[in-house]
Amino acid sequence: MDMWIKVLYDMSANMILPTTAAFAIAAIGLNVHFGFTGLLNMGQAGFMLIGAYGFSVATIAGLPFWAATLVTIAAGTIFALLLGIPTLKLRGDYLAIVTIAAAEIVRMIGRASVLNSVTGGSNGLPGETYRNTFSALSPFPDGKTAFLWFDFDNTGVNGWFIRIVAWSLVVIFAVLVWLLMRSPWGRVIKGIREDEDAVRSLGKNVFAFKMQALIIGGVLGAIGGMFYVLPTSVQPDALGRNMTFLIWTAMLLGGAATIWGPVLGSALFFALRIFIQGTVDILIPDAILNTQQTEQFSWIMVGVALMLLVIFRPQGILGDKKELNFNV
Amino acid sequence: MVNTALARRSSPKSLRVIFGVLLGLLVLSFTLGTGAPAAHAASDVCVADTATACFNGTIKGVGEGVKLTIDGNGESIVVETDKDGKWNAAVTTAGTYTITLDEKTLPAGVTVKGDAVQEREITLGFVKGAIFAVDGATGEGADNGQSQEQIAAEGFNWDRLAQQVVSGLRLGLLLALASIGLSLIYGTTGLSSFSHAEQVTLGGLLGYTFANVLGLNIFLTIVIVVILTGATGYIQDAVIWKPLRKKGLSLTQMIIVTIGLALALQYTFQMFYGASTVRILMKNPETFTIGPVTLTFESLWAMGLSVIVLILVGLFLLKTRTGRATRAVSDNPSLAAASGIDVDRIIRLVWVIATALAGLSGVMLGLVLNGINWQTGMQLLLLMFAAVTLGGLGTAFGALVGSLIIGMTVELANFVVPGDFKYATALVLLIVILLVRPQGIFGRKERIG
């Protein structure tokens, strides 16, 4: 019985992790791209990595927290501009290939040994080298606080402070996207998703609108990346292609083109994976699947779940099938 | 009707041009290889002659300062690896030597995998390799796809250019095997299959299983792997892709399904083979030298086999009825169906050919490059996409030419940028192509939509 309680605890603890919040922020950004604008961005992890490097390198260079955050936002913006200019006039799958390639380029440059002194090469940057400016902002006293069955440090690496900030940002960004999407600008964006030529015939500059959407989603991705590495460390390989695919899975699980879909999807995604892993661990003896293999098994299930989700319920949990346009 | 539609698209003339270009590249690389003056070995590099024999090897990703001791026949030599993990030692007596890797000199966190003590018999005038596999090595050298015979020299010289051109040709040919399938699938179904990369990995890992674990002959292994991977293509189309086409799934959904499949396959590979890199045929590769170019025999016949298979695929597409039907479907599925072509049968065939070619490519990549692990295919996928985009999405011959260009770009990038960036260079090239000619070299403008 204890084992099941541990699984339940792990599930709930994973749901509120600051990295889960960061993942949700990136998923909200991807939802702006894909769900609302219909852009097939397959490089959201690249935006995250750019944001992570932007923040950590700027902080290590001596910038204060707010300046480093601005660097993060600027990095996301520039990356979106660079990606958008060659591809936004082309068909959707070109954007997919270019975004995935650009994300890989960022990762390869980040892990290159010639940049060891800046990015730490393939070893990355340890969290304690850039985390302090953020921790210093904490208004909480030292010590630990217990809430429900959780007991964390107030300010520490993975404590309440970063959890509260990250999840508050998730709510703020979700509300922001909601406000954006019910504005005239949002209606144009959704119009582009439905029929680009129709919007163009109304005299709208489709390219500019797509670019704005790419930048907004990309900046959200960069901020997601920044909060992803604050409680951990900058590891270029952790923010690779598979991260992008996991964000896609989470977004589609919750429901693309909805406001809360990416948030719900992210929290559920991690909880479900832990649930699969824990259940398999308990039910199947080690002789058949050892602990490492159960983890791999849970990732296989994630892949299968993504396939089934897209085939049988592309609108996800919260989505409306009419709102979703896969013909990009 | 089909014939006239095809005549516009790929006339025999344009085919001749393509093969001409290919032949030209081959000839060029070999004239460069034989015409250049013989390599001048650096003073500390062992050169085998009538009085000496050489042992050498590369311990990937450990860097300099790892000590090896070569003992036997009254000689005891201690050598150190250089910054690329390469080492070599000269002995003056033929016979059996014991090569010992000093584990204490390995970098922190790196451990020997397999034997730290190996015995080698050598005859004067010969070079013998000894491979020590290590776990936990990092850095450039530990990456996949680093060609084994790469010359360590820095800066530009003609010898190195020749070596890199041949390496590029090799990578390009192996890449072409994989990307032609990707392009055929795109052409006939419109799908950019992200799981195609895993078909390459599957081929490599199956090759390792049959050749190394079960000890089968390498040619028999290749035949078995090609049949098995081709069968996966058949089953995939029967179980997944055909029902999804009938269900009317949009292409974007299908792309995401291939991504889900790719994820599931990657972790399946990890579950069965672990995260470490396996190399097909661990015995020391025998090398030979033409002018400045040093290649393993495996590399040579892998390249030869690739050329033969590519020519056969080309002949199939151009000369056979089914091949023509394939191109007709690629050109216009509705028109092809109206002309009495069984489109579903053609697509099934394309899946089988594509996965079988990818499997073949995987075996040979595992053989001539550094080895195969669960994410090798994923690393190559972007090169494949770059190749087919460069050639023109959906055109089989474009994929061939694109692959050769991408292969060359990757290997020649070393002259301009640090080795870490060689794959990135190919991806930058992809983005530049999309800027200036999005339809690729052989693509038609209407395809960009």
Which chain B residue's Cα is nearest to A100? B382
Q: What is the pLDDT of residues B301-325, one digit of tens each?
A: 889 999 999 999 999 999 999 999 9
Give the full edge-to-edge strand order of the sheet including B95-101: B75-80, B67-72, B95-101, B117-122
| B264 and A CB contact within 8 Å | yes
Q: Which of A90, A112, A293 sits opposite B434 (nearest CB)?
A: A90
Mutation site for A-interface testing, chosen from B263, B266, B373, B374 by largest number of A Cβ within 10 Å: B263
Kindly list the domain boundaries of chain A, sorted by start residue: 2-141+149-325
Q: What DSSP letter does each residue of B181-229 carry, written as one string?
A: HHHHHHHHH----TTHHHHHHHHHHHHHIIIIIS---HHHHHHHHHHHH
Q: State if pTM tops 0.80.
A: no
Q: Which of A122, A249, A308 sits opposite B139 (nearest CB)?
A: A122
**Nearest CA distance, A239 vs chain B (angstrom):** 14
Q: Which of B139, B271, B382 sits opposite A104 (nearest CB)?
A: B382
Q: Which of A93, A108, A121 sits opposite B424 (nearest CB)?
A: A108
Give yes or no for residue B1 having a pLDDT over 70.
Answer: no
Least confident of A216-225, B90-99, B170-179: B90-99
| B271 and A CB contact within 8 Å | yes
Pick the CATH number of B4-35+157-448 from 1.20.1070, 3.40.50, 1.10.3470, 2.40.10: 1.10.3470
Q: Which of A123, A293, A306 sits opposite B260 (nearest CB)?
A: A306
- Residue where the block lists tokens 């699984």: A7
Q: A189 — phi, psi (to 5°)?
A: -60, -45
Residue B215 has a CB neighbour count (10 Å cut-off) of: 8
Topology (CATH) of B53-135 = Immunoglobulin-like (2.60.40)
- Asked whether the beta carbons of residue B420 and residue A108 sit closer than 8 angstroms, the reply is yes
Give yes or no for residue B31 having a pLDDT over 60.
Answer: no
- Asked whether the beta carbons of residue B252 and residue A98 sit closer than 8 angstroms, the reply is no
Q: Which residues of A15-25 are buried (b: 16+ CB within 10 A; e: fewer)?
A: bbbbbbbbbbb
| B261 and A CB contact within 8 Å | yes
Give yes or no for residue A303 having a pLDDT over 50.
Answer: yes
Q: Which helix (H) or strand (E) holds A274?
A: helix A261-283
Q: With a cut of 0.95, is the ipTM above it?
A: no
Q: B54 — phi, psi (to 5°)?
A: -120, 140
Kindly list the domain boundaries of chain B, sorted by start residue: 4-35+157-448, 53-135
Which chain A residue's Cα is nearest to B424? A105
In angstroms, the CA B228 to CA B230 distance is 5
Q: B117 — phi, psi (to 5°)?
A: -125, 125
Highest mean pLDDT among A52-56, B73-77, B96-100, B379-383: A52-56
Give yes or no for residue B149 having a pLDDT over 60.
Answer: no
In angstroms, the CA B263 to CA B268 distance is 9
Output the pLDDT for position A265. 94
Q: What DSSP letter does each residue of B114-156 carry, written as one string?
A: S-SEEEEEE-TT-EEE---EEES--SGGGSTT--TT-----S-
| B139 and A CB contact within 8 Å | yes
Helix ranges (H only) for B218-342 are: 218-236, 242-247, 251-273, 297-319, 321-331, 333-338
Q: Which of A86, A104, A249 sits opposite B434 (nearest CB)?
A: A86
Q: How confident is the model at residue B279 (pLDDT cuts 50, 70, 90)?
A: confident
Residues of B in contact with A242 (CB under 8 A): 263, 266
Please give the structure tokens belonging to residue B20: 């001409």
- Residue where the block lists tokens 């090169």: B383
Output the pLDDT for position B76. 75
Residues of A in contact with B261 (CB under 8 A): 303, 307
| B425 and A CB contact within 8 Å | no
Pairing relationship of beta strands B75-80 and B111-113 according to DSSP bridges: unpaired
CA atoms within 13 Å, Cβ hemisphere of B399: 25
Please give the structure tokens belonging to residue B253: 């959904």
Give yes or no for residue B158 having a pLDDT over 90.
Answer: no
In angstroms, the CA A7 to CA A4 distance is 5
Q: What is the pLDDT of residues B174-223, one digit of tens each?
A: 999 999 999 999 888 888 899 999 999 999 999 999 988 888 888 899 99
- Asked whether the beta carbons of residue B250 and residue A326 sit closer than 8 angstroms, the reply is yes
Output the pLDDT for position B322. 92
Q: How confident is the model at residue A6 (pLDDT cuts 50, 70, 90)?
A: confident
In angstroms, the CA A72 to CA A50 distance is 7
**Nearest CA distance, A59 vs chain B (angstrom):** 25
- Asked whether the beta carbons of residue B423 and residue A104 sit closer than 8 angstroms, the reply is yes
Please give the structure tokens belonging to residue B390: 């460069």
- Asked whether the beta carbons of residue A310 and residue B260 sit closer than 8 angstroms, the reply is yes
- Asked whether the beta carbons of residue B271 and residue A297 sit closer than 8 angstroms, the reply is yes
- Asked whether the beta carbons of residue A86 and residue B431 sit closer than 8 angstroms, the reply is yes
Give yes or no for residue B235 having a pLDDT over 90.
Answer: yes
Pairing relationship of beta strands B95-101 and B67-72 according to DSSP bridges: antiparallel
Decide: helix, strand or coil at residue B66: coil
In angstroms, the CA B75 to CA B66 distance is 20
Computed over its alpha carbons, how large is the radius of gyration of chain A?
A: 20
- How distant is the alpha carbon of residue B188 from its chain centre? 25
- Asked whether the beta carbons of residue B431 and residue A101 sit closer than 8 angstroms, the reply is yes
| B429 and A CB contact within 8 Å | no
More confident residue, B74 or A195: A195
- Asked whether the beta carbons of residue B260 and residue A98 sit closer than 8 angstroms, the reply is no
In angstroms, the CA A102 to CA B430 distance is 10
| CATH architecture label of A2-141+149-325 | Orthogonal Bundle (1.10)
Q: Beta partners for B69?
A: B78, B100
Helix ranges (H only) for B369-414 are: 376-391, 396-412
Q: Which helix (H) or strand (E) holds A24?
A: helix A18-30
End-to-end CA distance of chain B: 25
Q: How confident is the model at residue A157 (pLDDT cuts 50, 70, 90)?
A: confident
In angstroms, the CA A59 to CA A49 distance is 15
Q: How confident is the model at residue A33 (pLDDT cuts 50, 70, 90)?
A: very high
Residues of B in contact with A40 (CB under 8 A): 252, 255
Give the full edge-to-edge strand order of the sheet including B86-91: B86-91, B53-58, B127-129
Give yes or no for residue A325 having a pLDDT over 80.
Answer: no
Q: What DSSP letter does each residue of B424-449 carry, written as one string?
A: HHHHHHHHHHHHH-TTTTT--GGGG-
Q: Which of B25, B396, B35, B3 lies closest to B187, judged by CA?
A: B396
Residues of B in contact with A306 (CB under 8 A): 256-257, 259-260, 263
Give yes or no for residue B30 having a pLDDT over 70.
Answer: no
Q: Which residues of B326-350 are buried (b: 16+ CB within 10 A; e: fewer)?
A: bbbbbbebeebeeeebebeebbbbb
Q: What is the pLDDT of residues A102-128, one digit of tens each?
A: 999 999 888 888 888 888 888 889 988
